Structures are given as C-alpha cells and as structure tokens.
Amino acid sequence: MGYCLNPHCSHPQNPPNVKQCQTCGSSLVLGDRYLTVKKLGKGGFGATFLAVDISLPGNPCCVIKQLRPSSSEASLLQMARELFEREARTLGKIGNHPQVPRLLDYFEVDEQFYLIQEFVQGANLQQEIKQEGPFDEDKVRYFLQEILPILDYIHNSRVIHRDIKPANIIRRQLDNRLVLIDFGAVKNEINTLAAADNSSRTALTAFAIGTLGFAPPEQLAMRPVYASDIYAVGVTAIYLLTGKSPKDLGVDSATGELQWQEHVNISSTLTRVLEKMLELSVRQRYKSGREVLESLHISDHSQDLSPGLITQPLSPVDFSPHDDISDSGMLNSGVNKSSPVNRRVSAQAEAIRDLQDRRRQRSLENNLESEQTKAKDELDAQTTLKKHKPANNTSKKLVKLPAQLTSEIILEAYSQGWVDFCQRSLKQLNLKKVDLSGSRFHQSQLVEVNFQGANLSKTDFGRANLYKAILRDANIVEAYLGYANLEEADLRGADLSFAYMNYANLKGANLCGANLTNARISDVQMAQAKTNWKTVFPSGRRNLL
C-alpha cells in the first residue's frame, strides 16, 4: 500500500503497486527512489513515514522524516532550511554509533524537507511495558548500563537529544539492543535562531521543549544542557519501574519534585541514584552517564561497542553541508566531489591514534597502581578471613571486599547483603548448593566453578566466563546469561526457564534434562549444545525425535 506525502491530501492511503496518488495526483515515490508505505507518526515539525528503497535489491525499509514549515514566508522558510541542514549534519555526525539510526539521505523538494534514515525493526520501551508490565530493579540497571554510554557518546559529539522517553528507545529485534531514535536537531538549534527573530518565535519555539514530564525545568525554560538528558533518562527509568507516566505520579507542591518512591520497591543505592538524576537543580544533578554508572558500581561497557563503530566517538570535525561524506553513512544527492574528505579522515585517524596512546598510558598507570596495592589487598583478605567470624560467633560487618575472594568470603558477604561480585576472578571455587539468588557476576571469571544444585535465580552472569562450570541441577530461573561463555559447561537438569541467553556461547554445553521453558535462546545456540529427550525446549516441549 502506498501513502501520499502531500499534507493536504484528503485520502493519502492508496492501493498496492500504485506510484501516483489516486486522490491528489502526487507522486508516491520520493526522489525517484523512496516509495512511502505508511505513516509512522506526526508531530509539530511534520511527520514520519515508513518507506522502501526501490532502487536497491530487496527494497530495504527506511524512515522518511518530513519537515513541514508552517508558513511560506521567506524568512521562516530560510530559517527552516538552515535548521534542516543543521539536523542533517548532526545526524551524519552521530549516526556512526551502532545504537543510533544512520542518516541515509537528505534533500528538499517543493519547499518540503526530507531526511531518510535507517529503519529499526522492533518495539519501543513504551510498547514493551504495556505488553509485559514494569521492569524489576535488575532490568532497570541493565537499561541504564546500555543507554547511558550512548548518551555520553552523543554528548561528546556536542549534541543534546532533548526528547528522551520510552517511545524514543527501541529494542532492536535483530540483536535485542536498545537504539536511541528521534534526534531532532530541528529542536536542538531552534532556540538560538528563533531568538534573532521575535516574529518567528511563536511558530518555532514550541518544538524545542521536548515532552512534558520528561523534560527538566531548564529545558522548559529554553536553556537545556547535557544534564537535561540525564534527567529524562531518570524519568524514563521511573516509568520502566512503575509503568506510570510522569503525569500519573504526584508532584511535591513545595519543591516541584516528582513523587515516585512510594510506587517502587528498589534498593537504597538505586533510589539515591535516581533521586540525583532527577534533581531539579542542574548543579546537584549528575553531569554525565559515566557518573551515574560509577554511582551504581557498574562499569561503562561502551568500549565493547568500539568494533561496531563506523567512526570512533571523537571531538567533532567541522565539515561543509555539501561535503561528500558517503563513507560515514550520509548519501547526499548534491555532494561536492572536490571536498577535502581526505584531510578530515586523516585528522580523525590521528585523533584515534592519540586516543589509543592515552588509553595505553592509563592502562600502564592502572597496572602500576594495581601492583602497589596488591600486597595490601592480600593482607586485607587475610585479616577479613580471621575477623569476619569472631570467637563469640557474631559476624563482623564487612566494610570492604578483598581483592581475592574465597567461597567462604562470598557466602559471608552475601549473608550481609552484598550481591555485587562483578569483574572478579573466581575460578574453580566450590559453591555447591549455595543460595546466591539475585547476585551479580557480570564479566567475572567463573571457569570450572562448581554451582551444582545452587540457587542462582535472577542472577546476572552477563559476559561472564563459565567455561566448564558445573551448573548441574542448579536453579537458574530468570537469570541473565547474555554473551556469557558456557562452552562445555555442565547444565544437566538445570532449571533455565525464562533465562535470558541471547548470544551466549553454548558450544559443547550439556543441556541434557535441562528445563529451558520460555528461555531467550536461538535454535542455532541449541544446535551447538548437547540435548536429549529429557531436555525441555523453550517452547515447553521435549524433543522426542
């Protein structure tokens, strides 16, 4: 089915295989290339459409963003054109991140402005909450861990998103990763330009606010900063925890602060972090995503995305809107072939080398510091082992976990409320039949660990190395095993129902008799593992063939 882009068309929907609107006669093929299929959304700036690229084999899908100036007045039209070009430059600059849609093309047709972007297949977080219900604390931590590095990336590119909300975050169906969409540089740059022309202020500034409830006070006052996006992510996290939009939550009449604490059941650590993300004062709010992750004791895994970046996130390099930058993802129909692209690429390469040199230097410094504190940590470990169980059988509160952990220290720490054992070396420990449910072993080395019969429900093993680990008859219900290495692990009889196992390495893993009901795992992964007639597959059925 074709869809007419003419905003004045009374019946824009058309039957299949039609390239000209049967109501108004407008062409349904934009730029002799993009055939519109349906409308995706409408806003103050214009509308968004799903289209297919009929010039390429397979007719891949793409998204058309149409900017519709509200007036044909020359000054307003010129302002819209400048904003449009700025948005195209911004999207071309930040679209090199694997979790940001790429800009494919942009052009003007009959005083209408069009941006062509990569189409992201999947449901947004608003749809996900309505279908599956609110997130628990662990899922919100995963959300923050994934979305905040994207935020730091765009902020390092001198871009403020200004409209972060659940509807603008899509869980990509291809790899289950979150993708941040709707980078409206039209909204980003409007404030500066509109201030120069009071006659145009009414027509344009309404687009700069963002979404009420998710935008902080300084953004509503037309003075957004990078921390404004931090506030919006905080409100989004509250929505994910409660399933309630900001307008459905109370507001303190004295301070204007959002009242959400009574609607959630989360740890004091996450509560404090969200409260600081939602500070009305910019001075008191977090300034970057990295600060948030450090407060949550979560490592920034944005480095893991480096191989997927088309261009590394460097300080922005200025370029003309007519430069030929097709190599970085923008296909401009009116490019200047004589543009100094080579100089820009060389500058970026040099910046990459400098960045790598700085990282190597930091690594050397960290190694030196590690060597200097190694002896002290070993002494702390011995002291802790001697003192955490005094003679009168009353345990002394652990203030700090030593660098080297034993099974005894882990169990004592867990009994005192410790759940964070991320990025630790815990090889060959004996944790048979223990209860460590809800713990976090993200990126830990768990080679040949014995978890036989253990309760590991809702535990985070993301990116952990569980090579040859013994998990026989373990309770691993609703555990997170994304990207974990389970090669040759013994999972016989384990309960993995509702476990998240996407991209886990299951080569040679023994799943005989395991229960995988509703587990997130692919057929390819299952084919790598050993199964038998007792294995319960994700469908809930056994393979009796």
> For residue 290, with 0-12 CB atoms within 10 Å meaning exposed, 13-18 middle and 19 or more buried, which class applies?
middle
Percent of the chain with pLDDT over 90: 48
Verify that 535 and 406 share a domain, yes or no: yes
Q: Write the CB contacts of 179 (distance below 8 Å, at least 6 apart in sequence).
A: 99, 100, 101, 120, 122, 169, 170, 171, 172
- pLDDT tier at 240, thresholds 50, 70, 90: very high
Number of separate domains in the chain: 3
Out of 163, 229, 323, 490, pick the active-site residue: 163
Verify that 531 and 464 share a domain, yes or no: yes
Range of the domain at 432: 389-545
User: With contact defined as beta carbons under 8 Å apart, do 292 and 230 qualify?
Assistant: yes
CATH of the domain at 210: 1.10.510.10
What pLDDT is attached to residue 180? 94
The three-state DSSP-derived secondary structure of 462-474 is CCCECCCCECCCC
* Cα–Cα distances in angstroms (integers) from residue 247 to residues 74, 137, 210, 232, 484, in the given order: 39, 22, 15, 14, 39
For residue 405, give the nearest of 455, 444, 347, 457 by alpha carbon: 444
Neighbours of 79 (CB within 10 A): 21
The amino acid occupying position 123 is A
In this predicted structure, which of 15-24, 202-211, 265-274 has the lowest mean pLDDT?
202-211
Verify that 114 and 127 share a domain, yes or no: no
- The predicted-structure confidence for 387-442, as pLDDT tens digits, reads as follows 444 444 444 566 678 888 999 999 999 998 888 899 899 999 999 999 999 999 99
377 flagged as catalytic:
no
What pLDDT is attached to residue 127? 95
Verify that 141 and 287 share a domain, yes or no: yes
- In this predicted structure, the answer to whether residue 147 has a pLDDT above a threshold of 60 is yes
User: With contact defined as beta carbons under 8 Å apart, do 320 and 338 qualify?
Assistant: no
User: With contact defined as beta carbons under 8 Å apart, do 322 and 341 qualify?
Assistant: no
User: With contact defined as beta carbons under 8 Å apart, do 103 and 93 qualify?
Assistant: no
- In this predicted structure, the answer to whether residue 188 has a pLDDT above a threshold of 60 is no
Verify that 88 and 127 share a domain, yes or no: no
Q: Write the CB contacts of 22 (distance below 8 Å, at least 6 apart in sequence).
A: 11, 14, 15
DSSP secondary-structure letter at 206?
A: G
Verify that 516 and 539 share a domain, yes or no: yes
Verify that 113 and 129 share a domain, yes or no: no
Q: Angle 185-191-194 (CA atoms, 0-180°, nearest 5)?
A: 115
Separation of alpha carbons 478 and 481, rounded Å:
9
CATH of the domain at 16: 3.30.200.20
Verify that 128 and 100 share a domain, yes or no: no
- In this predicted structure, the answer to whether residue 120 has a pLDDT above a threshold of 90 is yes
